[in-house]
Structure 1
Amino acid sequence: MKLQIDKKEFGLMIEHDQVKKRIRLIGTQINVSYEKQVPVFIGVLNGCFLFMADLMKEIDIAAETCFIKLASYQGDQQQGEIKEIIGLCVDIKDRDVIIVEDIIDTGNTLHYLLEKIKEHKPASVAICSLLLKPAKLQHTFPNLAFVGFEIPDEFVVGYGMDYNGLGRNLKDIYKACD
């Protein structure tokens, strides 16, 4: 199945049923890993909103949620500068933190965020990302604990991810066609 978004063509990459199954598994892993803790889930907007909403439905342990907003993309190109648009809204000192990302490609935004979070002295920080592009990573993240899917270095849209602000509402994940 192909679709067009803002004059760019996309083809189906990951169906929603696969996404749901993977999120259930990640939720189970987090419930076991944090059984006796009360973690703070920090969602990185805008892309994480569908993933985090579905993930939180699978979390059975006590937990708090918070959102931040960083910007590093324009269209389908990642820009060098990272802008903090909405900051941290909860005290995370001595707390277990789980950062929830929609996608990690170069890792520049995540690296920036981790440096900011470390300043607040959390007890621990784990990273949970729906998608990971290992071939594009420019940083190592030893605390990358939960990954939904590893994908090739392709531009994707859907399930919270956008192209020029469009396509976030698609339930499946699509890749750009050449």
Structure 2
Amino acid sequence: MPTDLEHIQRVMREADCLHPMAEVEAAISRVAQEVSNTLRDANPLVFCVMNGGLIFSGKLLTQLNFPLEQSYLHASRYRNETSGGELFWKAKPEVSLMDRDVLIIDDILDEGHTLMAIVDFCKRSGARAVYTAVLLDKKHERKARPDFAADFIGLNCIDRYVFGYGMDYKGYWRNAAGIYAVKGL
């Protein structure tokens, strides 16, 4: 059953803008500098986590002025829903991670289940080091492991259901030019 377009439009009209475009772009530039300082001599293998990490990854990669290999992977717990379930791999990496420094780029660190599973997969696949970059780190007490944190964080986010810059609401609004919170969620 298709999503009601009027509902999707209403979600945007009523949403709270948490981080406007200029603030998000400045955060991406800061993360690019931090990643560059850490990985410029590492010949990293960089993975975008689809679909959420696509916009952040694209904007971040254009600011990394050093050699890297870029690919993607697709693992999700949401599948166009507003709450997560079991991890589902749609596309595992198709390149060797053996003895490589790996950077995983994702949209948000919420509870951390998906990102931790991806990091564990990379380590089991022989990566020398695994780094993570997220556009948002959601602040709450429901983290899967309190000791797990992203290496590079664009912005901190309050505990609301957010969309924009790659994050979606029921498959929509990944293209929103800012970070928004759904009213009531």
TM over 0.5: yes
Equivalent residue in structure 2 for 1:47, among 25, 49, 52: 52
What amino acid sits opposite 1:95 in the alignment?
Answer: R
In the alignment, the residues of structure 1 paired with residue 46 and residue 29 of structure 2 have an alpha-carbon distance, to the nearest angstrom, of 16
CA deviation map 1:117-167 (0-9, x unaligned): 11111110111100011313122226x210011111110011111111110
Aligned residues: 174
Runs of 4+, deviation exceeding 4 Å: none
Alignment match, 2:128: 123
- TM value normalised by structure 1: 0.91
1:4–1:10 CA contact under 8 A, matched in 2: no
Alignment match, 1:155: 161
Determine which structure has the larger strand proportion and give its number: 1
2:163–2:173 CA contact under 8 A, matched in 1: yes
1:92 has 2:97 as partner: yes
After the TM superposition, which residues 134-145 of structure 1 pair with which residues of structure 2 at under 5 Å, given as runs? 134-135=139-140, 136-139=142-145, 140-141=147-148, 144-145=150-151
Equivalent residue in structure 1 for 2:172, among 162, 166, 177: 166
In the alignment, the residues of structure 2 paired with residue 128 and residue 174 of structure 1 have an alpha-carbon distance, to the nearest angstrom, of 20
Q: CA RMSD in A?
A: 1.6
In the alignment, the residues of structure 2 paired with residue 169 and residue 32 of structure 1 have an alpha-carbon distance, to the nearest angstrom, of 29
CA deviation map 1:41-64 (0-9, x unaligned): 111110010000000011011111
What amino acid sits opposite 1:59 in the alignment?
Answer: L
Alignment match, 2:115: 110
Equivalent residue in structure 2 for 1:15, among 13, 16, 20: 20
What amino acid sits opposite 1:46 in the alignment?
Answer: N
Q: What is the deviation of 1:4?
A: 6.0
* Unmatched tracts of structure 2, length 5 or more: 1-5
**Identity of counterpart residues, as a percentage?**
26
Alignment match, 1:34: 39
CA deviation map 1:13-64 (0-9, x unaligned): 1111111111111111111112221111111110010000000011011111
Alignment match, 1:177: 183
Q: What is the deviation of 1:5?
A: 2.1
1:5 has 2:36 as partner: no
